[in-house]
Amino acid sequence: MTKRVVFAANWKMHMGPEGAGAFCDVFLKQFEARDDREVWFFPPAVTLPTVVARVKGTGILVGAQNVFWEPKGAFTGELSVPLTREAGGAAALIGHSERRHVFSESIEETGRKVRAVLDGGLAPVFCVGEQLAERESGNTIKVVVDQLGALNGLSSEDLDRTIIAYEPVWAIGTGKTATPRDASEVHTAIRAWMIQHGADDKGVRVLYGGSVKPANAEVLLAEAEIDGVLVGGASLDPESWQKIVSVEVN
């Protein structure tokens, strides 16, 4: 099994349909699909159909930034997996640090969301990561493993469909980046947990996120344990994003 490197753009609460359309017009003029990599966009929910339409036929995939675990019902403001799929989404981010720490999303809730995404035929990109105090106290691996506990009980097949994104909270949007060695250590622990719980060791993909930009993407991706990147701010500019998705990976 040959793993394809993942380049995922998380636009957070940026890029309405008009801005996203203009972004795609610029980006797609330079973009060339490659067999060794996947390019993903995670736009705001209102923008998802626009991006799906603009990238049709390019091989680029689009997903939601968050979903609720119920398929339908009286849940004002929430986005379901079936609605995401109908809009053309192929994946969903689950457990992003902002969901955990701004919106108080629990490990149990992230687990319910992962199962809903898998049951609905989408791919979960499950985010884990520690805060600065947890890193400084030497608890990084414990925190990450505890968060991975949301995946307990998943079948081997479902684990194989789940991409993990390691995002140290202290590095998101701060300009600070975990060193490749720091990231590799955590990725190794994540990979070991996934394999121990039934995932195929040749198929586990663990992304890194946290102030990834053109200047450091190549160095990060040179680490054997890093299977791709989840990018925030640097993905909001088409030229910057083009440089990142064009990085050569050995």
Helix axes 48-55, 17-30, angle to 10 degrees: 20
Structure tokens at 163: 């991409």
Computed from CA positions of residues 30, 13, 51, 95, in that sequence, does the dihedral angle turn out positive or negative? positive
**Read out DSSP for 109-126?**
HHHHHHHHHHHTTPEEEE
Q: Determine the 3-state secondary structure of 76 from DSSP.
A: coil
Q: Known catalytic residue: 167?
A: yes
Q: Is 153 exposed, middle or buried (0-12, 13-18, 19+ CB in 10 A)?
A: exposed
Which candidate in 96, 109, 130, 225 is catalytic?
A: 96
Cα separation, 154 vs 168, in Å, equals 24
- Examine the residue annotation and report whether 78 is marked as an active-site residue of this protein: no
Q: What is the DSSP string of 31-74?
A: ----TTEEEEEE--GGGHHHHHHHHTTTT-EEEES---SSSSSS
Q: Which of 38, 130, 134, 167 is catalytic?
A: 167
Both tokens of 14, joined, read 């940026």
Q: Which two tokens stand for residue 35?
A: 């067999």
Residue type, 32: E
Catalytic residue positions? Answer: 96, 167
